[in-house]
Amino acid sequence: MENTGLPVQGQTSRQASERFEKPRNYGPLSQFNGHARITGPCGDTIEFWLKASEGRIAGIGFTTDGCGPSRAAGSMATELAMGKPLTEAAQIEQADILTALGGLPEESQHCALLASNTLKATITDFGRKDR
Ligand code: FES
């Protein structure tokens, strides 16, 4: 059967499986002005660092000790956020990450929620600091 890239039950999209293996923007930033770490109900932790400049995300990185889908979701969250105004990046939701990944299996969709929540918390952390 031809692979259309669309999510099919029991299958993982090409976009997602590529990022299971090779997540983009993986690793902490040495210079950052926003940071957050959240452990989800599954017990896995995602951590984000961002460098914002003139209201935009100029650099972003993440790590996770979790599953393949958490690597894919964290990666896609950073890819969607990079270069965006902070106000826009703060609106990236679980559904946006899932759509960009071409879906995730139902049992892994919460991994995208953990990624979007951690991204939002990182942007909030930036806003909390006196700069
Ligand atoms: S199962 Fe915990 S983040 Fe995926």
Rounded to the nearest whole angstrom, what is the distance from the C-alpha of residue 67 to the centroid of ligand 1?
A: 5
Sign of CA dihedral 118, 14, 25, 71: positive
Domain range spanning residue 35?
14-128
Domain with residue 31: its CATH number is: 3.90.1010.10
- Please tell me the total count of domains within the chain: 1
Residue 90 lies in a domain: yes
Mutate to test the pocket of ligand 1, among 19, 42, 104, 109 (most ligand atoms within 8 A of CB): 42
Residue 68 lies in a domain: yes
Q: Which percentage of the chain shows pLDDT scores above 70?
A: 91
What pLDDT score does 108 carry?
95
Mutate to test the pocket of ligand 1, among 19, 38, 45, 70 (most ligand atoms within 8 A of CB): 70
Residue 110 lies in a domain: yes
**Backbone dihedral angles phi then psi of residue 61, each to the nearest 5 degrees:** -145, 160
Residue 8 lies in a domain: no
Amino acid of residue 44: D
Residue 47 lies in a domain: yes
What pLDDT score does 129 carry?
73
Report the pocket of ligand 1 as residue ranges, CB < 6 Å: 40, 42, 44, 66-67, 69-70, 108, 111, 114
Q: To the nearest whole number, what is the mean pLDDT of the chain?
A: 92
